[in-house]
Chains A and B, each alone.
Chain A
Amino acid sequence: MSRGRFARWFDMRGWTLLLIGAPYVWLVILFLLPFLIVVAMSVATNTPTAPPFSYGGDHPWINLEPFSRVLTDGLYLRAFLTSIMNAFVAMVLCLLIGYPMALGLTRVSKSWRTILLMLVILPFWTSFLLRVYAWMGLMGKNSWFNGLLTDFWNFLVPLDWAIRSVPMMHTNFAVVLVMVYTYLPFMILPLYASLERLDPTLDEAAMDLGSRPYQVFLDVTLPQSIPGIIAGGMLVFIPAAGELVIPSLVGNASQPMIGKIIQDEFGQARDWPMASAVAVALLVLMVVPTMIYSRYQAKAEGAK
């Protein structure tokens, strides 16, 4: 066998190098580098040049003013608060709806389960934007859905309180509702995955030992599904907190969420360092739940 030196090198090392190297280099250039630029940008000084930043002037190299503004300026604090509140409420509602749905999915027959799981995933494959849009149609003043809710309200309350339509569009309520709608599959799937693995004989054992159904749930099912709850919660909370599209379509423009602030600082204000500082602050906020999650997971792995 007389293989060339290149062919031998390629078999021994080159092939592996190519396999690892190509995606590695791609991610370093197009993901890590842009990210590091944002971090570096967050300590730069805003200048009226193009591109609008510099590392000189009154604050050579490191300018912490953008960060101090994030922590002191009410505009940013309010936006962070709105984002966290909306994302948190959406996460809790997703859990309250998604948990019984996931539990229900584990209790139906095998063939039904396949169909229903497919139905959970299907909306995820259709356009996210159009799912948001679908709710715009339902929440509008003249829609059948709003009319139904209005009639229901007017039926319940005295005449003085009667309303013409339910003010749903352009509120935080609308933002949370649409977030719950679009992110519900993210909650159901990890919950289902963790509930499906549970051993049904444990339930039966607890029942045989005299536990009531709700006690079985609290003592047996719920503790074992905590990894699923945390995973689902993260999958809902993180994209919801950084959401840009939903508040732009159904939200209240006077109560912007943090994504909108980043976009405006960059686009309208042309203040790249400020936009970057807000982005870095948002990331720090995301890192905390991620750390809790990975620490919890490491502990769970260790327990096995």
Chain B
Amino acid sequence: MKRSPVFLVSILCFGFAFLYIPILSMIVYSFNASRLATVWGGFSTKWYVSLMSNEAVIKALVLSVQIAVVSATIATILGTMAGITLARFTKFRGRTLFSGLVTAPLIMPEVITGISMLIFFILMADWIGWPGQRGFTTITLAHITFCMIFVTTVVSARMVQTDRAIEEAAMDLGSRPWQVMFDITLPVISPAIISGWLLAFTISLDDVVISSFVTGPGSTTLPLLVWSKVRLGVTPDINALATLMIVTVGIGVAAAGIILHRSEKRRLAEERLAFRNND
């Protein structure tokens, strides 16, 4: 485009200022010496120190990470299976219901998902005595259920792009179906599986609403702790916590982005090379 649209550039600047000024302000105020979170009282790192020595925060963080690792891993396995199913098996009995089941949670308001799971868990405990107590197990089960949908979306989008001919060639050469999957399909879609896991991990780590419904006594995840704390107002140690999380996630996303970008570039280069060698 030759013309440089001044209006578009200025709205881009405004938009990114809108997206990032609140975050930057929070980061700056996390180094505020004043107890009043909104008045500047000089530079200090004391809120980071008090955060690190806050046992409730550390406990909640450990619980959140445990739940996120377990649910992201199981959600990735189930979600990958569902994604392959969606992309490869176009005709089986119950496919319409299946594709409905993997899209409905995406458009279901979180409050409804949360309340339906809570009623389900309470009634199950009443009828068959399981789950005895709500907490780690129930949160993890709920997280697996809505995280796997996101993995399914990412994986099936990738599956549609991949070439079926390689899988068919392996079949013709005598590979058994599960060997084809482990030797060909999974390596090909591995970038999608990795980003699916990361997405599931972040969503689980970040979830407030559904966790707030299905949690039980003593099982406070980090978002639940933060939610109950910030309802009372702005506090400097939450600023410090937010800064740590944002910096961690920022580095993680940037690194993942660079790695994926490079591997994609290499893949394209290799494909081009293979194509040329075929001629």
Contact = CB atoms under 8 A, between A and B. Distances in A.
The answer to whether A binds B is yes
Contacts of A92: none
Interface in A279-304: 279, 282-283, 286, 290
Contact of B25 (A37, A51, A134, A242): A134
A28 B119 CA distance: 16
Interface stretch (B45-53, B96-104, B186-194): B96-104
Given A34-B120, A129-B223, A145 B25 contact: yes
Contacts of B120: 30, 33-34, 37
B78 interface: yes
Interface in A126-148: 126-131, 133-138, 140-145
Given A20-B85, A259-B111, A272-B119, A129 B226 contact: yes
A249 B19 CA distance: 19
Contact of B110 (A10, A11, A107, A242): A242
Q: Which interface residue of B101, B112, B202, B223 has the most chain A CB atoms within 10 A?
A: B112
B253 A259 contact: no
Contacts of A145: 25
A100 interface: yes
A16 B226 contact: no
Nearest to A50: B126
Contacts, number: 247
Interface in B46-100: 78-79, 81-82, 84-85, 89, 92, 94, 98
Interface string A94-125: 00011011011101100000101011111101
A245 interface: yes
B126 A51 contact: yes
A200 B89 CA distance: 38
B78 A23 contact: yes
B173 interface: no
B140 to A, nearest CB: 11
Interface of B: 1, 5, 7-9, 11-12, 14-16, 18-23, 25-26, 29, 36-40, 78-79, 81-82, 84-85, 89, 92, 94, 98, 101-102, 104-105, 107-113, 115-120, 122-123, 126, 141-142, 144-145, 148, 152, 176-178, 202, 205-206, 208-209, 223, 226-227, 230-231, 233-234, 238-239, 241-242, 245-246, 249-250, 252-254, 257, 261
20 contacts: A20-B85, A23-B148, A24-B98, A35-B116, A101-B11, A107-B8, A118-B253, A120-B19, A128-B206, A130-B245, A133-B26, A134-B242, A135-B22, A137-B26, A181-B22, A241-B109, A244-B111, A245-B227, A262-B111, A282-B112
